[in-house]
């Protein structure tokens, strides 16, 4: 199933830089729901990727996104509480620039992690 980008209220195809048509429509649907509830912009770093992630990464199937919320809208605890309503796989990356960010994926079982100074 392909994404109907015209029906995506908050994200444009171009925001999913590498191969946006490889991104799972469910991922975009859930990110739209998070964006609506957060009332804060979400900046996508990467979704589908052919390499550069751990073996078995959900990025390889377009079922993961790395992103950050625009600064000044929600604190990180509120971001976590919101994201955990929609995603089972959540990683928080405190060292990302320009600000800390998130990995969210569509795995079926719960996994939560923190990466601080490149240590998990």
Over residues 19-26, mean pLDDT = 95
Residue 97, pLDDT score: 85
Over residues 62-71, mean pLDDT = 95
Residue 115, pLDDT score: 87
Over residues 5-16, mean pLDDT = 95
Nearest-10 crossing angle of helices 76-83, 25-38: 140
Q: Do 89 and 58 contact (CB within 8 A), yes or no?
A: yes
Q: Do 81 and 67 contact (CB within 8 A), yes or no?
A: no
Helix (H) / strand (E) containing 28: helix 25-38
Q: What is the pLDDT of residues 68-117, one digit of tens each?
A: 999 888 899 999 999 999 999 999 999 988 889 999 999 999 999 988 87
What pTM did the predictor assign? 0.93
The length of the chain, given as a count of residues: 120
Rounded to whole angstroms, what are the CA distances from 117 to 57, 71, 81, 99? 21, 20, 23, 13
């Amino acid at each position: 199933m392909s994404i109907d980008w015209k029906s995506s209220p908050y994200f444009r195809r171009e925001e999913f830089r590498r191969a946006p048509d490889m991104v799972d429509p469910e991922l975009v649907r859930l990110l739209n729901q998070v964006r609506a509830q957060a009332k804060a912009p979400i900046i996508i770093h990467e979704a589908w990727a052919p390499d550069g992630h751990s073996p078995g990464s959900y990025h390889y199937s377009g079922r993961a996104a790395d992103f950050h919320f625009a600064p000044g809208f929600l604190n990180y605890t509120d971001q976590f509480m919101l994201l955990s309503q929609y995603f089972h796989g959540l990683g928080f990356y405190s060292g990302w620039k320009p600000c800390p960010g998130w990995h969210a994926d569509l795995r079926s079982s719960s996994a939560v992690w923190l990466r601080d100074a490149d240590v998990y």
